[in-house]
Every structure is written in structure tokens, then in C-alpha cells.
């Protein structure tokens, strides 16, 4: 089941972590390096009507990943998130 992200989520949650969880680094998950490992992701809403997703090791906390995690590009997110073109256009690289 995909996590749906809509424009209102971004506009009404400035500076917050909208959602976090675990996914597999493979073609069915985030597919960052295709390592097959479990990764923790954090979807963070920015302060300019934007959003991004950070990933890190399963053992890291949301806070650690939000500060030092790797950013993921939108096309790598489509397996776990559902969003339209307008929301994709709000993605912060």
C-alpha cells in the first residue's frame, strides 16, 4: 500500500516530519543502491511549500536521518509514495 501525499499535506505541515518508516532498498522499495537492506525513510516538509525524503540506516532515528540522511530523488519514491505532478513539482532536491 502506497502512502498518499497531497498538496494540503505540504501546505499545512511546515517544518514537520509528515511520515517515516522502513522500506527495502530494492526495485520494490526506494531502490537507492539496490542493496537489499532495510532503510529508514523520513518525509520532511520544508518551510517554502516544499518537501523531501531522507533515508538512512534502519538503526538511525528520525532526527538523525532528517539532519544527516541522504536525499532521494522523486522517481525512486514512486513505489512507496503516491503523489501527483503538482506535488512532485514541490519536491526539494
CA distance 4 to 63: 22
Pick the range with the lowest mean pLDDT from 2-6, 17-21, 52-56, 74-78: 74-78
Q: Within a domain: residue 46?
A: yes
Residues whose CB falls within 8 Å of the CB of residue 5, separated by 6 or more in sequence, listed in order = 18, 43, 51, 81, 82, 83, 87
- Compute the distance between CA of residue 70 and CA of residue 64 in angstroms, rounded to an integer: 11
- Count of structural domains within the chain: 1
pLDDT at position 75: 85
* Residue-wise pLDDT tens digits, 16-72: 999 999 999 999 999 889 999 999 999 999 999 999 999 999 999 999 999 999 999
Question: Which domain covers residue 81, as residue numbers?
Answer: 3-88
Output the nine-digit C-alpha cell for 28.
520494490
Residue 93 lies in a domain: no
Amino acid at each position: 500500500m502506497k502512502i498518499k501525499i497531497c498538496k494540503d499535506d505540504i501546505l499545512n505541515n511546515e517544518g514537520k516530519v509528515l511520515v517515516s518508516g522502513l522500506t527495502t532498498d530494492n526495485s520494490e522499495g526506494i531502490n537507492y543502491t539496490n542493496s537489499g537492506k532495510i532503510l529508514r525513510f523520513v518525509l520532511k516538509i520544508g518551510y517554502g511549500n516544499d518537501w523531501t525524503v531522507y533515508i538512512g540506516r534502519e538503526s538511525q532515528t528520525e532526527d538523525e536521518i532528517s539532519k544527516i540522511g541522504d536525499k532521494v530523488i522523486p522517481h525512486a519514491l514512486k513505489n512507496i509514495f503516491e503523489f501527483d505532478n503538482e506535488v512532485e513539482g514541490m519536491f526539494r532536491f
